[in-house]
Amino acid sequence: MGKIKAYLLAFIVLDMVILSGCWDMREINELGLVTAVGIDKADGSNRYAVTVQIANPTSAGSSENSSGSGGASGGSPVWIGTEEGSTLFDAIRKLVAISSRRIIWAHNNVVVIGESLAKEGIIPVVDYFTHNPELRMKTIVVVAKGNAKDYIPAKIGMETPSGLSFIMLESYRYLTAESVESQMLLISSTLKNDYGNPIISEVSLPKRAMQPASGKGGEQFAQTLELSGAAVFKKDRMIGWLTREECRGISWMLNKTQNTVVTVFDPAHDNRGVAVETSGVKAKIRSKIVDGMPEFTISISGSGDIAEEDASTNSGISEMKSDIARLVNKKIEEDVKNSLETIQKKYMVDCLGFAAICHTQNNEKWHEGIKDRWQEIFPKIPVSVSADIKIKTSTLNQEPMKIR
């Protein structure tokens, strides 16, 4: 009897172990891996439209090259579906009705927000995607010119499925510095901040990619997604766009660029073009409060190499280097000032985190009146900008290629 009881007990314990296992098991080939998602909300409507790009592993995993031009045909590397709902979660759950696979967000790289939704407020998007434990906080968030829906099937870079290209676009952003850093983590923390106004990169669809084959002479280039420019937000509502040059200015200020090309024209030598590749650029923002008014000083330092010269000069090495350095510095200062001008005067929104800098550097005075008046002070704050880029190269400087 005792033996039977022991066996029974062992059986029950083993059952507890086995029966409670496996509940969250799901095979990888039965999942829909989302690689990009676009979210729209038409003006005045209260329904969200969610468009997802789901990798179709059969062709995505195989080595055969595919164009990634979209569509839901069998051989395509991606499956694209769209669904509407009164909340985001509602719309996303409804996707199951057409997708045949359960959607997981763990591999999503990009959230594209439609322009009209951005203008109405991005809180629902940020909230849903930070609530969801599957989604990575490194996901890139961008604002689309127009409807986000059009961007999901578009050609994006060279990766397959095309959503993966976003990681690459984002990782090479520092080379041009014509957009801004806009990861989900950064945006959600900025929104939770007392004086945070996010800037989010912009995507557009210029016709720059060669058509696969079917170009009939006329339309040679197809639409491809481009990451450049940015959208300025006042709290969660978009209020306007920044151009790529203005983004560049912001990148200089906020230390977000390294190997950028600065092109300057040398008035002393027939406006010849000189391209300088910068490196080791560091920006320091200092603030002090004089008579109840904050003042900012931005100093940018670093070095650069001459990468290209359009015409030869007969000036000496050191002379020419200092000439070009002066021009580069001037150009950078201009860039920074232009973007400050737009942000301070046109949008009147502190999206650069100046408030935080002012607060940390002048804690006592910040609470003595500045904090409450920040909104009205900000457009009037004087900012002085100085750049000090040193030219390192001594090669290529005197006798570039000439036609004899």
Helix (H, G, I), strand (E, B) or coil at 115: helix
Burial per residue of 32-55, b for 16 or more beta-carbon CB atoms within 10 angstroms, e otherwise: bbbbbbbbbbeeeeeebbbbbbbb
Chain center to CA of 63: 29
User: Among 81, 187, 91, which residue's Cα sits nearest to residue 130?
Assistant: 187
- Note if the bond before 153 is cis, omega within 30 degrees: no
Q: What is the pattern of x (binds another protein, CB under 8 A) and - over residues 37-76?
A: ------------------x-xxxxxx--------------
For position 27 contacting another protein by CB under 8 A, the verdict is yes
For position 106 contacting another protein by CB under 8 A, the verdict is yes
> What is the radius of gyration, based on Cα positions, of the chain?
27
Please report which helix (H) or strand (E) contains residue 201, including its range. Answer: strand 199-204
CB of residue 155 to another protein, shortest distance in Å: 18
By CB under 8 A, what part of segment 348-387 binds another protein?
Answer: none
Say how far apart CA 227 and CA 231 lie, in whole Å: 12
Among 11, 12, 13, 26, binds another protein (CB under 8 A): 26
Counting other chains too, the contacts that 115-118 makes at CB distance below 8 Å and 24 or more residues apart are 115/143, 115/144, 115/145, 115/146, 115/147, 115/238, 116/40, 116/41, 116/42, 116/43, 116/147, 117/39, 117/40, 117/41, 117/48, 117/148, 118/143, 118/200, 118/231, 118/233, 118/237, 118/238
Among 109, 147, 228, 260, binds another protein (CB under 8 A): 109
Q: What is the pattern of x (binds another protein, CB under 8 A) and - over residues 129-168?
A: -----x-x------------------------x--x----
CB of residue 104 to another protein, shortest distance in Å: 6
Among 2, 3, 21, 218, binds another protein (CB under 8 A): 21
CB of residue 107 to another protein, shortest distance in Å: 4
CB of residue 269 to another protein, shortest distance in Å: 49
Binding window for another protein (CB under 8 A); candidates: 99-107, 114-122, 366-374, 375-383:
99-107
Q: Which residue lies nearer to another protein by CB, 101 or 326?
A: 101
- Which residues have C-beta within 8 Å of that of residue 4, sequence separation ≥ 6? none
Among 24, 291, 364, 376, binds another protein (CB under 8 A): 24
Q: Which residue lies nearer to another protein by CB, 21 or 218?
A: 21
For position 28 contacting another protein by CB under 8 A, the verdict is yes
Binding site for another protein (CB under 8 A): 17-18, 21-22, 24-29, 31, 33, 35, 55, 57-62, 104, 106-107, 109, 134, 136, 161, 164
